[in-house]
Structure 1
């Protein structure tokens, strides 16, 4: 177990006897509780019995279910003005047990159940947050407590989300590698900004992150938040299509996307041939309802260039995280001589991505040892830029980044080799024989690989 010292000496006879006696008493207590449950006893004596039981066995949900039955009866019998005292007493009991068993699902759930019966949350708001701070000071990665705090702040609805943002500041400054604090920050940010996150906030966060990754360049928690933050600014784009060229309009098109999406229809992606809309049906491949790869089957064919355009007023297409921002790039099949070739026109605003790429390059110029996380993030940013700007030539840099990662981070080499195969295929316009497992990666080389293989 975590933080538990390994014993080097065998237990003494006295210790063995003491442990046997403790287990015997616990078994007798459990037997008594089950007998009381069988008799459907909802008396105060049964309530006291469950108190002893949950103090010694805080993970047995059956005891808490039984205790809640008794509490419901007590609530009915207790005068209205005395209910707050009864609820406070239960919260005090749970607070003491939680400090001894901080990672018990049943304890945290039972505390939620009690709070849902409290009418004046203002009186207990400060105390609940202080309990969370106390528990997180003892173990700043206790996800039970982080989940409880998330639930309580949303449930109470009186705590300022800006205060919660400041709370994550304090936890992160105490330990940059606190993954739970960074993850909680994403939840708070999405609650504050229910739509698109403002540019000024993103700039502020990127400045904070630069200080963090220059201090701890190998910390994965920092880079995870960095990736999440910039993903909010990355539009949903087409990354691959099959076929990439044709002489006669094919019966269907297989289209790869940058995100795992659902909700494609004529209101989210417009397809046209010449000046006329091209009607057809969309269906996800491999997985559903979310998929990186979709099939479009036209219902008719007419002369003229074929174009796919993602709708700027989309309300239906969304990725698996609720992201709805669509690219303004135009994806066209233009006729040249006897065939139509796929092309991409336009470019997205890539200011944030280019600025961060410069910062990471700055870090890599001075960091000789702890490089793998920064090199991986560089490769990911280059990948994004390669699809946001049709004129950006990043392929050689992406390939060089994955080649370096294979050398310096052998444990994740299979993942890097798959990415390397994908970008070699894009560069050479021909896929290698090695299989691509990731659907997201496969979506990028459609037209360079036979999906029937």
Structure 2
């Protein structure tokens, strides 16, 4: 092929030898670490070997577990809080380096959680300014780090899940934390309507605020419905906003709300008649009308409207044809 250098036989043989040497080294190291684990070796030397092995393979969850056992049973035994803090800070740095290359490996995120959960309190007595000071400082840094990671990949659900963990577990909660989170998710959503994780985080934050009576529920729900409409009118093919819209409607599916949202989507259908999510959402909301308000409406007409839409969906979305057929049979 033009422009592509061919590898010589010598080069290929050298690459194979290097790869084979790497495999042999990895297998030998794995055997050594697992032998130490079996012997309940909680030494610093064993800990260092886990570092090397995890650099080879960060998905080796057994070794992450062994590493934590070494810390808990060996290195941390009779150690002062300052030393424990330093060791855990080093582990947070180590896992940060690993996440740059492997941002979606669950076991790395899991180890970071464990490190944060095991940070010691500072010196002094409970209630003193320093008692939670250095611990809180580490958690605050984690929040900044995860925001940077979500800037690099706004849809990394591991990072979003980790963010929820941090916000829920911080030793000292941020003032106006949930309202700040609404601002954060809004920023991510307006940058990309397809960010399902941001919509999901927003739904959890809103529910928390509503349950605590820290936000006007009726006013904020109306604003959220308008945000969702703007999103699906902009990109009717994106499922993230439709799922969020269904959650939002489902929090208070009054007859008036269902009819209003159906009418709104039908306006979109006039412009985009072949959009699957538009038609499927209309069916979903009409079925809710039938289920909850069938005695107040013309159930026969509603059922027939659903049948027509479901038949259209069988053509537009043949992969889910059986599902639409089953829905039609239930009418």
Structure 1 and Structure 2 fold alike (TM over 0.5): yes
- Residue number in structure 2 paired with 1:87: 88
Q: Distance in 2 between matches of 1:98 and 1:76?
A: 28
3-state SS, counterpart of residue 118 of structure 2: coil
Do the aligned residues in 1 keep the contact of 2:199 with 2:241 (CA within 8 Å)? Answer: yes
Distance 1:102 1:362, change over 3 A: same
- Please, which moves more after superposition, 86-95 or 189-198? 189-198
- Give the one of 213, 219, 228 matched to 1:200: 219
Deviations 1:149-183 (A, max 9, x none): 22221111614012222221122122211222222
> Whose strand fraction is larger, Structure 1's or Structure 2's?
1
Pairing partner for 1:162 from 176, 179, 202 = 179
Deviation at 1:364, TM superposition (A): 0.8
Q: Secondary structure at the match of 2:325?
A: helix
Unaligned 5+ segments in structure 1 are 1-8, 235-348, 424-453
Per-residue deviation at 1:190? 2.3
For normalisation by structure 1, the TM-score amounts to 0.62
Distance apart, 1:195 and its partner CA: 7.0
Please name the residue that 1:351 is paired with.
256
Q: Secondary structure at the match of 2:110?
A: helix
Deviates more, 1:222-231 or 1:11-20: 11-20
> Is 1:23 aligned with 2:19?
no
Give the corresponding residue for 1:271: none
Describe how 1:382-393 pairs up with structure 2 within 5 A.
382-389=286-293, 390-393=295-298
In structure 2, list runs of 5 or more residues that go unmatched.
1-5, 122-131
1:188 is aligned to 2:205: yes
Please give the secondary structure, in 2, of the residue aligned with 1:12: helix
How many Å apart are 1:359 and its aligned residue?
A: 0.9
Number of the residue aligned with 2:252: 233
Against the structure 1 CA distance between its residues 40 and 411, is the aligned structure 2 distance closer, same or farther, given a 3 Å change threshold? closer
SS of 2:41's equivalent in the other structure is: coil
Contact conserved, 2:232 with 2:238, CA < 8 A, in 1? Answer: yes
Q: Cα deviations across residues 32-65 of structure 1 (Å, max 9, x unaligned)?
A: 2123223332222222111111222211122122
1:59 aligns with 2:73: no
Structure with greater proportional helix content:
2
- Matched with 1:397 is 305
Cα deviation, 1:293-347, whole Å, max 9, x if unaligned, reads xxxxxxxxxxxxxxxxxxxxxxxxxxxxxxxxxxxxxxxxxxxxxxxxxxxxxxx
SS at match of 1:77: coil
Tell me the distance in 2 between the aligned counterparts of 1:39 and 1:408: 61
RMSD: 2.2
2:268 pairs with one of 317, 341, 363: 363
C-alpha distance after superposition, 1:72-121 (max 9, x if no partner) = 22222322333322221121111111222222222111111111112344
Query: Aligned to 2:325, which of 410, 417, 431?
Result: 417
Asked if residue 139 in structure 1 is aligned to residue 140 in structure 2, the reply is no
Assess if the C-alpha contact under 8 Å between 2:116 and 2:139 holds in 1.
Answer: no
Give the structure 2 partner of residue 214 of structure 1.
Answer: 233
Larger of the two Rg values belongs to structure: 1
The answer as to 2:91 corresponding to 1:104 is: no
